Chain A
Amino acid sequence: MAQHKSNKTTYKQQVSAMNAEKKKTSVRGLATLLSTTILLCVLLVAGYKLIDSESEVLFKSQEQSLWLPGETFYRTLSIYPGGMLSWLGCYMTQFFYHPAMGVWLMMSAWAVVMGLSQRLFRLRGWKMLLVALVPLMLLAILTQTGYWIYYQKQPGHMWVPTLGVGISLVIALAGDCMERFSAVSGRMAKMLLMVATAWFGYQWMGAWSFLALALMAANSITIFFERKKGSEENAGNGSANEYDRLNEKKTLSTRSEAIWCGATVLLAVVLAGIIPQIEYNIFDQTMRSEVYVAGMPCFRYGQDDCPVYRTAYYLLALCFVVLTVASLIKNGIFESKVKKTAAAIVILALLGGASSFALKRWNHDKNFHAEIAMANAIERQDWEGALQTMAACANDTISPTRVMVMMKNLALFRVGRVGDEMFMYPEGSRQQEAEWTVRMTQVGGKMLYYNYGKLNFCYRWCMEDGVEFGWRVEQLKYMALCAMLKGEDAVAHKYFNLLKKTRYHKEWAEKYEPFIGHQDKMREDTELSPITYLKEFGDRLDADNTLVELYLLQTFANGRGADPVYQECTLMCSLIMKDIDLFWPRFAEYCNRHAKEEGFYVPRYYQEAAYLYCQLEPQKESVMWPGMSNAEAMKRLPFDQGVIDRYQSFMQFNSRPDIAPLSEQEKARAFKPLYSNTFYYFYFLMRNQKTN
């Protein structure tokens, strides 16, 4: 009877335990479900934010990349460790041509990365949320890019980290399966996989292969503790651990397990240390001191080192340490010490920290985004779009970069409103927000040279950058156009043929290629004809000393051309240079040339410049009417009343008792709200503009 009672009690206890376990499992299942939902939501939010604010940048990233089918292109990348990853990265970068599609692919890849991380580290319940750390760091790596989009030398850099992490996780999971498959042969197979990963992985993935090795080592540690815990449980209840029982696997003693685990970790360390040194003899184009970072992006430009960009990579590595620790906690290594509440707080803190880091590293530089949006608009021939972007910057307190100002002037010039609207947009010379000196030759300069008809200089910088930073779609496009416009037909075909092999630029190449050899058609084409009018016909030896703006201003301001388009360009540049002697003959020529045209009027800013220069040098002989002074000539020039009124108002404002004693900088601030849209303000108060 007592025995029966005891059995009954035991049965009740068992049922109760089973119920508790069921409840626990169901709670964990619910937590897992909720975690999965949260992770997917995080991805959706990140994807939405990327599309919403980074579409133009992502589009530009594929223009600053190149992927070509065939062996020749692959060979150019595979001479360095990590070439295959770069090749894949370049392939995937193409899809940013449609930013939404590119982002969707990226988010899918991150979802896979999270899935693989969860599978490898066997995190369930709320701990599963920790797998979001990896994509958060990948997001930081992606969005911190900024001006590296032009300067980064690693091909496919936008995708390489995601691919490197993804492939490393796949390899580590394969090792995990091997190790769990059998205690001895599985581990030996895993070790072989590690050797193969080190040897081939280093060739194909460069330093990312170290991540795969590290993950495999970490995985072995996790499995060791898992089995140790299993053994302890077995010792407690006299049965094999769950996994081995289910799989009827032979088990090893804890000591043997520890030796295997130690050997695996040691092997990973040794391979990571030795293989790059051995393969230095295979890769004859990699510096010995750089073998351990081969395949990683370089955040150094010239003498400027930018270590802040490496932080996200270090934190990415740290994320895997966190996941490993979380996995160990799950297996009870630190179970007694970590309480659920504390764990929840730690998880939330980690996720919060990673999120805020990702947001902090996200490049929010408005000028950078405006530059790219304007450049993209100009490349689409959307001149009004470029002007709208520039106009939108007027609301910002920061001043624009010179390249933005140059693009604005170009857009106005192309729509024929430069004389009327040149100073209606923000002016400035803010240096690009980067840790190194960003130059216009890399950022926008090629486009400016092309559109101003300086075809050899555009071609030159495309070539220089192709050599320095690797070949990119943008360079090939400009080189094709320059060669075509200059009548270098054979080489133009070469570049067009290369572009026709790309996924998304075939159409572009097919649009322009028919112009080859047809200068007459180019002259008739609305897009190409302004360039044909501006391009130089005489030849001389010259150099721009990497100063695009100065070179353009000086060559045009000093140039004399019969063509009306060219002539107005010389007038515009002499005005921007504030060079009175250069201005007058070009102004006179402009007026004489257009005087007989129906509805002719002299645009506002040309008038303002002429009026101001007459005021500044009244006694000097007029260029327009030789023998007459500027003061007399001024009376004959039919200035708009607005031009005169604004000048007088400007001068009156300047003579106000509260304004007159101010320094030039203070005056610039005081005048800005009222007069920043006048030539007078530009002439007197916009000085020392530094170009780059």
Chain B
Amino acid sequence: MNKSRNIAKYIFLLALLCLSACKNAEVPAQFAEGKSMPDIYPDYAGVTVPCNIAPLNFAIENEADNYVTRIKAGDNEWVIGEQSVMIDEEDWQEIKQTALAGNGAISIEVFTENGGNWTRMKPFEMFVSKDSIDPYISYRLIAPSYVTYEGLTINQRCLENFDESVIYSNMINSNEKDGQCINCHSYQNYDPNTMQFHVRQAHGGTVIAHDGKIEKLNLKASDNMTSAGVYPAWHPTLPLIAYSTNHTGQSFHTYDKQKIEVQDTYSDLILYDVEKQEVQPLPRDTNDLDCFPFWSPDGKYLYYCSAHYEMNDSTGRTKEYDLILNYQDVHYNLYRRAFDEKTRQFGPQQMVYNSGDTCSATLPRISPDGRYLMFTRGDYGVFHIWHSSSDLYLIDLTQATQAQAGNKSQQAAKGSGVAELGSASEAPTFPGWNGCEARCLRELNSPDVDSYHSWSSNGKWVIFSSRRYDGNFTRPFIAHMNEDGTFTRPFELPQANPSFHQEFLRSYNIPEFMRGPVTIKPQEFAKVIFADSIQAKLSPNAPKEADIATGASRLNK
């Protein structure tokens, strides 16, 4: 009898549990008004999101017995009774559409219950923009390690939902004996199937997918080149990729929070013709460290950063060691060279932004409409993802153009319309750069690292890497650009599980927008990578070998 009573009791309890699980959350009828906004992660308060973004799930971090969140858009509301506010994708579509029908605002109210008393925290808002965002991004997932690289993946993520897949993983071609590193994925004009990335060490080479083909190449066409191609930039329309070639080393900070310093001892630029499989080194000065090329959207200019570093030979040190001792004295400026699409020749170096030996400017990225130049500025060096001082800056190039007229007369007076390539300080300046200020993007920056950035194809959004949450793990943040060139508050890449990034022990590296997914399977890449590389040739247009090595070649056009 007792046994059957117990069974009945359990069934009743189970039913009660089921009922409570099915119960819809309700906004408490009575509550006190809280004085502060809820602590939520990710912090989405006040952010503006694209109309096609995935749900902005978040977790409430305030301690409480129960939680209720009311999401309001227009006259509609949705209520969720969990600490982790995970919004159903269909509901989210409705929320966004309702918000867009109005002023775009979504209001969020969080109610917390402690000891039977409900409190309404101060509400906050998100805004939905009519501007859409490219549906996909890709990034490399890498632990912020230094020399080890197991389990590296280049992933793609649909921004409209939470689908994520691997474009290529180093483990598909790695074993204990032969490991490989992968890096530097890049796309031509946001086209996911015209892309490239590098594989280092075992089965190394540069993988280039274009016109439905996949090739693996050895871009070190000459022993005199510093290295094979490293940091890439696809020409927006032509089958060309500009690369920097780098001799890179790293050393370790004994106490600093920044932990490592990555430095180039030598770095130059090359141009690779994808169809002819030819490498054309750009003229160089061996004391110049050229890096991070990027094309203007019309393909007429190649932007890059460069530092001039002359070591004191009397010390008898190697350049590597000298740079390690003086790592804080290496400052990069921004330059550009005109590019003649017909002759495939570059013009002289023009200074775009002079860091003035007080800071270091890297990663120039031009907006798709050609109006803005965004770059990363840190105190020194080139590898700003490890520099907590690094921040994003913006130059309005139209202001520079307006100022150009004023400067033209000065340049004519100097007779330096075309100048000899020289050191940073000697180089001619980009017309009008003096006339426009680089603006620190305070609305985007944080006290910690804010670095690698990419423009969306419509130029309305930027995605950038930031270590603002913990100083160690890089997370992608997205921000909307307003008409006046300012940005709205950035928001962290949304995740299905809002706490995902708090547990995730890898960094997002090189976030890049794409118009769609890469459709080539990892196994297809693996097959090509496993095979031998195609050896790229040196272009007949290349400066003579001796000139490349010594930097004696100087363009005088």
Which residues of A come within 8 Å of B, CB atoms?
68, 70-73, 153, 280-281, 284-290, 298, 300-303, 454-457, 459-460, 463-468, 471, 483, 486-488, 490-491, 493-494, 497-498, 535-544, 555
- Checking A285, A455, A555 against B169 with a beta-carbon cut-off of 8 angstroms, the contacting residue is A285
Residue of B nearest to A540 (CB): B254
- Checking B148, B171, B252, B325 against A543 with a beta-carbon cut-off of 8 angstroms, the contacting residue is B252
Residue of B nearest to A280 (CB): B523
- Checking B147, B151, B172, B324 against A464 with a beta-carbon cut-off of 8 angstroms, the contacting residue is B147
- Contact partners of A303 in chain B: CB under 8 A: 177
Q: Is B143 an interface residue when CB atoms closer than 8 A count as contact? A: yes
Asked if A456 contacts B471 (CB within 8 A), the reply is no
Asked if A542 contacts B148 (CB within 8 A), the reply is no
Q: Is B502 an interface residue when CB atoms closer than 8 A count as contact? A: yes
- Checking A298, A467, A539 against B253 with a beta-carbon cut-off of 8 angstroms, the contacting residue is A539
Asked if B252 contacts A541 (CB within 8 A), the reply is yes
Q: What is the minimal beta-carbon distance from A282 to any residue of chain B, in angstroms?
A: 10
Asked if A537 contacts B255 (CB within 8 A), the reply is yes
Alpha-carbon gap, A497 to B177, bound state (A):
35
Asked if B253 contacts A72 (CB within 8 A), the reply is no
Per-residue CB proximity of B162-180 to A under 8 Å, as 1/0?
0000100101111111000
Asked if B177 contacts A471 (CB within 8 A), the reply is no
Q: Is B261 an interface residue when CB atoms closer than 8 A count as contact? A: yes
Q: In the complex, given contacts A467-B148, A541-B261, what are 6 additional A-B residue pairs having Cβ atoms less than 8 angstroms apart? A: A70-B497, A280-B523, A284-B522, A287-B172, A456-B259, A464-B145
> By CB atoms of chain B within 10 A, which of A454, A464, A541 has the most?
A541
Asked if B253 contacts A456 (CB within 8 A), the reply is yes
Q: List 13 A-B contacts (CB under 8 A).
A: A70-B497, A72-B497, A281-B523, A302-B176, A460-B259, A465-B148, A467-B148, A467-B149, A490-B469, A494-B472, A498-B503, A539-B253, A539-B254
Asked if B145 contacts A541 (CB within 8 A), the reply is no
Asked if B174 contacts A287 (CB within 8 A), the reply is yes
Within 8 A of A (CB), among B174-214: 174-177
Known contacts: A73-B503, A285-B166. The answer to whether A488 contacts B145 by CB under 8 A is no
Q: Is B256 an interface residue when CB atoms closer than 8 A count as contact? A: yes
- Secondary structure at the B interface, as helix, strand, loop or mixed, is loop
- Contact partners of A298 in chain B: CB under 8 A: 176
- Contact partners of B327 in chain A: CB under 8 A: 541
Asked if B146 contacts A463 (CB within 8 A), the reply is yes
Alpha-carbon gap, A68 to B502, bound state (A):
13
Asked if B502 contacts A497 (CB within 8 A), the reply is yes
Q: What is the minimal beta-carbon distance from B495 to any residue of chain A, in angstroms?
A: 10
- Contact partners of B521 in chain A: CB under 8 A: 281, 284
Alpha-carbon gap, A494 to B144, bound state (A):
14
Asked if B166 contacts A467 (CB within 8 A), the reply is no
In the A-B complex, the 4 residue pairs with the closest CB atoms? A284-B522, A300-B176, A541-B251, A491-B470
Alpha-carbon gap, A491 to B471, bound state (A):
7
Known contacts: A72-B504, A466-B143, A541-B327. The answer to whether A301 contacts B176 by CB under 8 A is yes
- Contact partners of A73 in chain B: CB under 8 A: 503
Alpha-carbon gap, A555 to B175, bound state (A):
36
- Contact partners of A536 in chain B: CB under 8 A: 254-255
- Contact partners of A287 in chain B: CB under 8 A: 171-175
Within 8 A of A (CB), among B312-346: 324-325, 327
- Contact partners of A491 in chain B: CB under 8 A: 470-473
- Contact partners of A544 in chain B: CB under 8 A: 252
Per-residue CB proximity of B455-480 to A under 8 Å, as 1/0?
00000000000000111110000000
- Contact partners of B472 in chain A: CB under 8 A: 483, 488, 491, 494
Residue of A nearest to B171 (CB): A285
Alpha-carbon gap, A459 to B173, bound state (A):
29
- Checking B146, B149, B151, B171 against A460 with a beta-carbon cut-off of 8 angstroms, the contacting residue is B146
Q: Is B257 an interface residue when CB atoms closer than 8 A count as contact? A: yes
Q: Is B440 an interface residue when CB atoms closer than 8 A count as contact? A: no
> By CB atoms of chain A within 10 A, which of B171, B325, B327, B502 has the most?
B171
Q: What is the minimal beta-carbon distance from B240 to any residue of chain A, in angstroms?
A: 30
Asked if B150 contacts A468 (CB within 8 A), the reply is yes
Within 8 A of A (CB), among B475-524: 497, 500, 502-505, 521-523
Alpha-carbon gap, A440 to B266, bound state (A):
33
- Contact partners of A280 in chain B: CB under 8 A: 523
Asked if B255 contacts A486 (CB within 8 A), the reply is yes
Q: Is B438 an interface residue when CB atoms closer than 8 A count as contact? A: no
- Contact partners of B147 in chain A: CB under 8 A: 464
Residue of B nearest to A454 (CB): B254
Asked if A456 contacts B145 (CB within 8 A), the reply is no
Residue of B nearest to A535 (CB): B255
Asked if B252 contacts A284 (CB within 8 A), the reply is no
Asked if B252 contacts A460 (CB within 8 A), the reply is yes
Asked if B255 contacts A455 (CB within 8 A), the reply is yes
Q: What is the minimal beta-carbon distance from B173 to any residue of chain A, in angstroms?
A: 6
Asked if B252 contacts A290 (CB within 8 A), the reply is no
Per-residue CB proximity of B245-279 to A under 8 Å, as 1/0?
00000011111110101000000000000000000
Asked if B469 contacts A543 (CB within 8 A), the reply is no
Asked if A285 contacts B256 (CB within 8 A), the reply is no
Asked if A68 contacts B503 (CB within 8 A), the reply is yes
- Contact partners of A555 in chain B: CB under 8 A: 254
- Contact partners of B251 in chain A: CB under 8 A: 541-543
- Contact partners of A471 in chain B: CB under 8 A: 505
- Contact partners of A460 in chain B: CB under 8 A: 146, 252, 259
Asked if B470 contacts A490 (CB within 8 A), the reply is yes
Asked if B176 contacts A284 (CB within 8 A), the reply is no
Alpha-carbon gap, A474 to B183, bound state (A):
29
Asked if A284 contacts B470 (CB within 8 A), the reply is no
- Checking A289, A537, A538, A541 against B175 with a beta-carbon cut-off of 8 angstroms, the contacting residue is A289
- Contact partners of B176 in chain A: CB under 8 A: 153, 298, 300-302
Q: Is B555 an interface residue when CB atoms closer than 8 A count as contact? A: no
Alpha-carbon gap, A483 to B257, bound state (A):
9
Asked if B150 contacts A467 (CB within 8 A), the reply is yes
Within 8 A of A (CB), among B116-172: 143-151, 153, 166, 169, 171-172
Q: Is B25 an interface residue when CB atoms closer than 8 A count as contact? A: no
Q: Is B436 an interface residue when CB atoms closer than 8 A count as contact? A: no
Q: What is the minimal beta-carbon distance from A226 to any residue of chain B, in angstroms?
A: 41
Q: Is B526 an interface residue when CB atoms closer than 8 A count as contact? A: yes
Asked if B253 contacts A286 (CB within 8 A), the reply is no
Known contacts: A72-B503, A289-B175, A290-B175. The answer to whether A467 contacts B252 by CB under 8 A is no
Q: What is the minimal beta-carbon distance from B50 to any residue of chain A, in angstroms?
A: 26
Q: What is the minimal beta-carbon distance from B523 to any residue of chain A, in angstroms?
A: 6
> By CB atoms of chain A within 10 A, which of B255, B497, B503, B522 has the most?
B255
Alpha-carbon gap, A543 to B251, bound state (A):
6
Asked if B503 contacts A286 (CB within 8 A), the reply is no
Asked if B171 contacts A286 (CB within 8 A), the reply is yes
- Contact partners of B253 in chain A: CB under 8 A: 456, 539-542
Q: What is the minimal beta-carbon distance from B71 to any residue of chain A, in angstroms?
A: 24
> By CB atoms of chain A within 10 A, which of B148, B153, B325, B473 has the most?
B148
